[in-house]
Structure 1
Amino acid sequence: MDPHLLRTYVTVARLASFSAAARELGYTQSAVSQHIAALEQDLGTDLLTRRPVAPTPAGERLLEHAGPLLLRLEAARADVVRRAAAPEHGLTLATTPTALGPRTVAALPRAGVTLRVLAREEVPEAVAAGRADLGLVDGLAAPSDPLRLPDVAPLTTYGVGEESVCVLLPDTHPLAGRPGLRLGDLAHARWLDAPDAGLPLAQLRAAAGGSGFRPALRYEGTDVRVLTALAAAGHGLTLLPRTAATGVPGAVAVPLAQPRVVHRVELVCLGTPGGPAARLAEVLLDGGAGAGTPV
């Protein structure tokens, strides 16, 4: 299967338009049509309906495979280019907002660093595609259990830190004086849905048994300070790692007593890092979980 044809197909399916795909890819519309026809001939089935432009059932199935396949090709190219490049290039670190803790900030080189704060699912993709030398991802997990990351490329992850989690609520909230809270008791409370700034509600549902946690407000941003301000103002509760939840004006961080979960941070890399990336990884792994896990 020709990856150029596959990339054209994914673009047409995403934009639902042959002409729009041609403009984005820099092809003529005729060339795009020829790419789709060639791919359909190769697979022996129709992949798109034409009016309207939409994937057929076979096309939907191909889309499930296409993303990981194309990303793995990008990962292979990035790995080869990185190994052939000069070892002392700058460092690009992709991270989620709550994975970037004080220890990581202190360990960053004093110059030549590009820091990219991304959504959780974008961090592994950035590393796999060579847009970042290293990645930091985080989430809820049982103590010492690895995170479940999407299978986007042959990446390796290392546990670099775990800490307790807290429910952040206004200091006037009836539960603000509690020594600890049970997550299951808060399933029907007002929650903030901030998948890219805090811990996603889907993870809370999974930890509490799979129900509840309906959002009162959705925040589509990556600034943790905005999220904590919303919680302090009473727009909803949020669950954060202890260091991010502590010391917020007008809010109280109450430790989560049950279930027994932690905020886990993992380092993501493609192959063996070199230069500044290797030195940062060494610092972060000193005191972390240590062993690498392929994903």
Structure 2
Amino acid sequence: MLMTYGILGRMDPHLLRTYVTVARLASFSEAARELGYTQSAVSQHIAALEQDLGTPLLTRRPVAPTAAGERLLEHAGPLLLRLDAARADVARMVAAPEHGLTLAAAPTALGPRALAALPAAGVTLRVLARDDIPEAVATGTADLGLVDGLAAPSDPLRLPDVAPLTTHGVGEEPVCVLLPASHPLARRTGLRLGDLVDARWLDAPGAGLPLDHLRAANGSGGFRPALRYEGTDIRALTTLAAAGHGLTLLPCTAATGLPGAVAVPLVAPRLVHRVELVHGGSLRGAAATMADKLLEHA
């Protein structure tokens, strides 16, 4: 049975998905429970994949990837994601149009224009970390995505290459550094990013603009995190900044008018907060209507 499965199912996505699950959970029995297989079937899947590739992929006690298994994991995620994206793309072509809309958006991408373009009813809004949004759209768990980030004016964002997706720029605005009102720099009319390399920063990749974006824009290291916030709530992030736990960079519309905090525009380098609409395939129904509204004045 193993020989047949190995020959006929070379790099079979079912085998690959089983392997990824076992490696993630570090347990054959837990993987069997999650996947709905018997433990014997999971063992057979792993053995078939190891026979196909001609090398052990997992140690058994403890369960952990070998060096070859680690290399396979690097390929497995993108491969499985592409398969899921292909399935979702075909399903979009043949499925009947739906009345509802699922929108995946980064918290700072939900500006006034996006909110005004939302349909009056039938919307499911999923606030996600910005790196997870292209995957959500590609795999069909969201109809549309709104991603954002730092960019030079009119430059597109660099998004993960998870599947053939279409992107449209829908808005740009200045960015501001959010400081406590008592901060020595709070009375400045503008700040240069290079002067803030050694400041204490909030590391909030899900809610604010990530520190690696700042490092890339400045072309240097630095921007040492004083506190890491792993949520997606902008209000929590701004409260932390106002309380003096670190600086954060936000689109100016999200940073102004906050109690106990001051938003100072970033004047150099010349950067903007850019928002892009992401979708796969042709849009229909509520998704098409919202996209048209977003792009009307882009």
Question: What does 1:94-113 correspond to in 2, within 5 Å?
Answer: 94-113=104-123
Cα displacement (A) at 1:274: 1.0
Amino acid across the alignment from 2:153 = P
- Of 171, 191, 195, which residue of structure 2 is paired with 1:185? 195
Q: Does 1:115 align with 2:149?
A: no
Match of 2:246 in 1: 236
Q: Is the 8 A contact 2:92 2:281 kept in 1?
A: no
Partner of 1:156: 166
Q: What TM-score does the superposition give when structure 2 sets the normalisation length?
A: 0.94
Deviations 1:11-34 (A, max 9, x none): 011111111111111111111010
TM-score w.r.t. length of structure 1: 0.95
- Alignment deviations for residues 129-159 of structure 1 (CA, whole Å, 9 cap, x no partner): 1100000111111111111111111112111
The residue that corresponds to 1:293 in the other structure is none
1:267 and 1:61 mapped to 2: Cα distance?
33
Structure 1: 5+ residue stretches without partners: 289-295
Q: Does residue 255 of structure 1 match 2:287? A: no
| Aligned residue in 1 for 2:42 | 32
Q: Determine the structure 2 residue equivalent to 1:127.
A: 137
Aligned-pair distance for 1:85?
2.0
Rounded to whole Å, the distance in 2 between the matches of 1:274 and 1:68 is 27
Superposed displacement of residue 168, structure 1: 0.5
Aligned length in residues: 288
What root-mean-square deviation, in Å, do the aligned CA atoms of Structure 1 and Structure 2 show?
A: 1.1
CA–CA distance in structure 1, aligned partners of residues 74 and 296 of structure 2: 38
| Separation (CA, whole Å) in 1 of partners of 2:81 and 2:36 | 20
Aligned equivalents of 1:23 and 1:151: distance in 2? 32
Residue deviations 1:152-206 (CA, integer Å, cap 9, x gap): 1111211111111000001111111111101111111111111100001111111
Structure 2: distance between partners of 1:108 and 1:60: 43
Larger CA deviation: 127-136 vs 61-70: 61-70
The answer to whether residue 155 in structure 2 is matched with residue 145 in structure 1 is: yes
SS of residue matched to 1:139 = strand
How far residue 99 of structure 1 moved from its aligned partner, in angstroms, is 0.5
* Corresponding position: 1:275 with 2:285: yes
Partner of 2:29: 19
Match of 2:5 in 1: none
Contact 1:68 1:151 in 2 (8 A): no
Partner residue in 2 for 1:194? 204
Poorly superposed stretches of 4+, deviation over 4 Å: none
The answer for the alignment partner of 1:68 in structure 2 is: 78
Question: Which ranges in structure 2 are unaligned for 5 or more consecutive residues?
Answer: 1-10
Equivalent of 2:62, from 24, 47, 52? 52
How far the C-alpha of 1:230 sits from its partner, in A, is 1.1
Q: Is 1:210 the counterpart of 2:220 in the alignment?
A: yes
CA distance in 1, matches of 2:101, 2:171: 21
Stretch deviating more after TM superposition (71-80 or 25-34): 71-80
Identity rate, percent: 82
Are 1:226 and 2:239 an aligned pair? Answer: no
Once the two structures are superposed, residues 210-254 of structure 1 have per-residue CA deviations (whole angstroms, 9 ceiling, x without a partner) of 211111111111110111111111111100001101111111110
How big is the shift at 1:88?
3.4
Distance in structure 2 (CA, Å) of the matches to 1:82 and 1:154: 14
What's the secondary structure of 2:83's corresponding residue?
helix
Deviation at 1:83, TM superposition (A): 2.1
Structure 2 residue identity aligned to 1:158: H
Q: Deviations over 1:35-73 (max 9, x none)?
A: 011111122222112222111222112111111111111
